Amino acid sequence: MKIALLGYGKMGKAIEAIAIQRGHDIVIKTSEQSGYNITDADVAIDFSVPSAAFNNISNCINNQVPVISGTTGWLEQYNDVVSLCEKQKGAFIYASNFSLGVNIFFELNKVLAKMMAKVDDYNVDIEEIHHTQKLDAPSGTAITLAEGIIDNNTAYQDWKLDVSDKNTIPITAKRIPEVPGTHTITYNSAIDTIKIEHEAHNRQGFALGAVIAAEWLVGKTGIFTMKDVLALD
Ligand SMILES: NC(=O)C1=CN([C@@H]2O[C@H](COP(=O)(O)OP(=O)(O)OC[C@H]3O[C@@H](n4cnc5c(N)ncnc54)[C@H](OP(=O)(O)O)[C@@H]3O)[C@@H](O)[C@H]2O)C=CC1
Ligand SMILES: O=C(O)C1=N[C@H](C(=O)O)C[C@H](O)C1
C-alpha cells in the first residue's frame, strides 16, 4: 500500500517505522500544507496540528484518497468533514486514540459508567497527563472518555476543563516532559474510591492502530470509527 503521511512529527515518524515493517511504501511525508500530489497515495494518514487537520483531510476526500486522522483539537469541524465525505462518497476514520488498549479502555469506561448511574454516592473526574509539547487540552482521549460517561449516565450532561459543577465532569490536564499519555477516571465517595487507568508506555500502540486502520479503510466508502476496525462488540 502506498501511504501519505500528513504530519511528519513524533507520530508521523512512529507510523513510518511500523508501516515499513508491515510492507508498505511511504510515498509522501510532509509537514507542509501543499507541495505534493495526494493522488500518488492509496491512503493518507494525518497526524498533524489542530489548525491543519481539516484542510489536509478535505484535500484527501476531494481527491478520492481514503484518509484517517488522529489529530486532536479540531473537532468543531468534524461535522463538516462528515458532510464532505458523504457528498464526495469518500472514506474517513477519525479516532482520538488509535491504540487497541485505549479502545478497550473506552468500552470498559462505558460499562463502568452504566453501573455508576445506578448509585448516587460517587462523583466522577477525569485526569489526563501528556508531554509538554502537546498543543491541545484536554486531550482528545479525555473528551471521548467524558462523552462515554455522559452517554451512559444521565447525572452528567457536560464536561469542562478544571471546573467541577453539578452535572459536569471535571477534566484535569497535566503536562509533564516525555509522558506519552495517561488517562485516569476516578469515582470518589466519602467511603471509597474506584479508579480505572490507561497508561501508554510509548507511541507504538497509537502508530500500529493507525496503520491497521489505514489497511482496513482502503477499498471502503463511508465514515467509520476504531470500533468498526477492531470489531470490539
Ligand atoms: N489519535 C491518536 O492515537 C493520537 C493522536 N495524536 C495527535 O496527533 C497529532 C500529532 O501528534 P505528534 O506527532 O505528537 O505532534 P508533532 O508536533 O510531533 O507533529 C506534528 C507535525 O505536524 C506538522 N505540521 C504543521 N502544519 C502542518 C500541515 N499543514 N500539514 C501537515 N503537517 C503539518 C508539524 O510541523 P512543524 O513542527 O513544522 O509545525 C509537525 O511536524 C496531535 O494532534 C496529537 O494530539 C498523538 C498521538 C496519538
Ligand atoms: O498528543 C499526544 O501525544 C496524544 N494525543 C492524543 C489525545 O489527545 O488524546 C492521544 C494520545 O493520548 C497521545
- The 10 Å Cβ neighbour count of residue 218 is 14
CA distance 16 to 20: 6
Note down the domain range covering 27: 2-98+204-230
**82 and 120 part of one domain:** no
Q: Is 70 annotated as a binding residue?
A: yes
> Residue 165: what pLDDT?
86
Ligand 2 site, residue 130, Cβ cutoff 6 A: yes
CA distance 84 to 64: 11
Nearest-CA residue for ligand 1 atom 16 is: 9
> Residue 4: what pLDDT?
98
Query: Can you give the CATH number for the domain in which 106 is found?
Result: 3.30.360.10
For the chain, how many structural domains are there in total? 2
Which helix (DSSP H) or strand (DSSP E) does residue 175 occupy?
strand 168-175
CA of 47 to the centre of ligand 1 (A): 5
**66 and 91 part of one domain:** yes
Q: What is the ipTM of this complex?
A: 0.99
Predicted confidence (pLDDT) per residue in 209-228, tens digit: 999 999 999 999 999 999 99
Cα dihedral sign for 25, 34, 222, 149? positive
Predicted confidence (pLDDT) per residue in 126-163, tens digit: 999 999 999 999 999 999 999 999 999 999 999 999 99
**150 and 79 part of one domain:** no
CA distance 201 to 65: 32
User: What residues are labeled active site?
Assistant: 130, 134
- Grid cell at residue 164: 467541577
Q: Is 193 annotated as a binding residue?
A: no
- In 89-224, which residue ranges form alpha helices assigned H by DSSP? 100-116, 140-150, 204-217
Predicted confidence (pLDDT) per residue in 25-82, tens digit: 999 999 999 999 999 999 999 999 999 999 999 999 999 999 999 999 999 999 999 9
